[in-house]
Structure 1
Amino acid sequence: MAIRRHRLPRFWLVLTLGLVASGVGAAYWWEKQLPTRLDQAAKAGRLDDCLLFGEQLSALRWLGGQAPLELSRCRRLKAEQLWLAQQPAQALQLQRLLVNSGNSTPEDQQRLLTWQQQLETEALSLYRRGQLDRALAVLKSLNADQNPQGTALGDQLREDWSRNRFQKERAARLIPQERWWEALDALNRIEHPWWKQHTQALRQEVEGGIEGLRKRDHGEHDSHGGLGSNVPEAQLSRLVSQKLSQGLDDWQAFSQACAELGGQVIEDGPETACRR
């Protein structure tokens, strides 16, 4: 008795192969249509459509089309548009994709470098004006606001900002204690232009306190036979500040500065002078 063969498996095989062939044919047909659609979108200024068609071409490039070149064209145009529209983060993202695609030109690479330099300059300018948050926002578009190692430019700006703020707060704590020389040392350590400007009132108070000490010392010493420092005051003040910056306390700084100028510390009750 002959075994009856079922035709159903053959039917499904033919159907599957037919669907695959239809899909490949449709993809090939669409791949042939995309360059024309892409050109039309680019010429009409519809860059979002242009970019979409370019991405689709990239997905179909295994069929032998020119997807990478067409997509690079879209990215170039869209990146320029975004940059002019003050959207640097999106512009840089597309420009990086373009440069890393392998189909970029030297001009594309130079444009990316120029944009990055402009944004870094803008961030530093904002930082010098005291706008730390805005500077970090600009650096974020460069992926330079922070990293796990703490070596990004944004990390460096945060550290510098904190260091200057600490010196300002240190001076503010020392002033009520009338530790004028140490307060002056703290203010002299401030390097940031914005913090320098915003600590001028503290500096004036410190300088006034130091001047008051000098006048009081001179007046009291003169009333006791003219005892007073006879070394150059400007040099003495500079040396005292240097010693304080090295970690010495007020007395050690004054004593060593006096000795370096060839003087001796003379004490008269609570008052002290440096005399040669």
Structure 2
Amino acid sequence: MALRRHTLPRYWLGLTLGGVALLCGVAYWWEQQLPLRLRDAAQRGDLEACLRYSEQLAALRWLGQKAPSEQATCRRRQAELAWEQGDRSQALRLQEQLVNSAIGSSSEQQQDRQRLMRWRDQLRNQALLRFREGDLDAAITLLQPVEQGDGRPGTRLSDSLRETWNRNRLNHERLLEMVQDQKWWEALSLLNQLDHPWWQRKALAERAKVEAAIDALRDREEHHSHGELPAHTVPQAELDAAVRQRIRMGMDPWQAFISGCADVGGTVVEDGPESLCRRP
């Protein structure tokens, strides 16, 4: 019985080592078969089988077998086909694998890198075009294959597009409030802060209304300067010159109006729906 107990561990150890050796042998044999199957699939034009064999071969490269050139050819063809069929995510994934594998001549590797950069640039340009047209969701969708795996929030192009869109949306909402309250100078300031073509077009009606109201205010100020209103209203020419100077310094129109009024010795007062500059 004692002899039997000592024999059993050796038996199981031998069985385990034998199983491991058998698995390694099968893996080695299969690795030797894969290049032949890969070449055959590449010659037949069977891209799916070619890609499947190339992925299996890549998983077995720890055994020391160098990846054959057919693996790069297969990925290259499959990536081009996916791009032509509109599967941008799959195309970029395969092309990135191709570039990272460093298989092929230096000229082929350079062409692979250039193709990857060109595809990424095309998607970015298409996304920017859709963004300028006002379709934020489509722009973000186009950028997803490019930014896949990029874990740096706040630094991606999609983050910048969202920030620009939301800023313009909020400024447009505030613009509508200022127009409704007939605060024309504040409204003009918000109009000038809109820096997205789609939101600028959306605010064309408000811009026309605001500019007409400001022109009416200026006409009224001109009448004021002819004595129709109290003399303590500042001269329109001096106020306009001061406001223009402040705008050239980089101020928005409303702040330029406030500062320009102070420059000519006046203060801004609310006269009904209008903002006037008057001297004490």
Same fold (TM over 0.5): yes
- What's 1:66 paired with? 66
Matched, 1:130 2:130: no
Give the one of 180, 185, 189 matched to 1:185: 189
CA distance in 2, matches of 1:5, 1:211: 106
- What's 1:50 paired with? 50
Q: Which moved more, 1:197-206 or 1:91-100?
A: 91-100
Q: Give CA-to-partner distance per residue, 1:59-82, whole Å, 9 cap, x none.
A: 333444333644333222211111
CA distance in 1, matches of 2:37, 2:205: 66
CA distance in 1, matches of 2:31, 2:149: 41
The letter of the residue matching 2:72 is: S
Report which of the two has the higher share of helix: 2
Matched, 1:231 2:240: no
CA distance in 2, matches of 1:139, 1:197: 25
Q: Counterparts of 1:2-151 in structure 2 under 5 Å? A: 19-20=19-20, 22-67=22-67, 69-103=69-103, 105-143=109-147, 147-151=151-155
| Cα RMSD for the two superposed structures | 3.8
Q: Which moved more, 1:15-24 or 1:101-110?
A: 15-24
Matched, 1:245 2:249: no
CA distance in 1, matches of 2:11, 2:267: 115
CA distance in 1, matches of 2:149, 2:202: 25
Give the one of 183, 191, 206 matched to 1:202: 206
- What's 1:255 paired with? 261
Q: Give CA-to-partner distance per residue, 1:23-78, whole Å, 9 cap, x none.
A: 44443333332222212222333212111111222233344433364433322221
Q: Give CA-to-partner distance per residue, 1:243-270, whole Å, 9 cap, x none.
A: 86287385x244146x3xxxx6599xx6
CA distance in 1, matches of 2:149, 2:240: 43
Distance 1:62 1:147, change over 3 A: closer
CA distance in 2, matches of 1:124, 1:145: 20
Distance 1:137 1:145, change over 3 A: farther
CA distance in 2, matches of 1:6, 1:224: 120
- Whether the aligned pair in 1 keeps the contact of 2:82 and 2:91 (CA below 8 Å) is yes
- Whether the aligned pair in 1 keeps the contact of 2:222 and 2:236 (CA below 8 Å) is no
**Count of paired positions:** 265
Q: Which moved more, 1:95-104 or 1:153-162?
A: 95-104
Distance 1:70 1:58, change over 3 A: farther
TM-score by length of 1: 0.77
TM-score by length of 2: 0.77
- What's 1:176 paired with? 180
Which runs of 5 or more residues in structure 1 are unaligned?
none
Q: Which moved more, 1:212-221 or 1:82-91?
A: 212-221
Determine which structure has greater relative contact order: mean sequence separation of CA pairs < 8 Å that are 6+ residues apart, divided by chain length: 2
CA distance in 1, matches of 2:128, 2:93: 21
Q: Give CA-to-partner distance per residue, 1:179-200, whole Å, 9 cap, x none.
A: 1111101101111111111110
The letter of the residue matching 2:194 is: I
- Whether the aligned pair in 2 keeps the contact of 1:184 and 1:241 (CA below 8 Å) is no
- What's 1:155 paired with? 159
CA distance in 2, matches of 1:192, 1:4: 85
Distance 1:172 1:11, change over 3 A: closer
Distance 1:219 1:266, change over 3 A: farther
Distance 1:244 1:171, change over 3 A: farther
Which runs of 5 or more residues in structure 2 are unaligned?
none
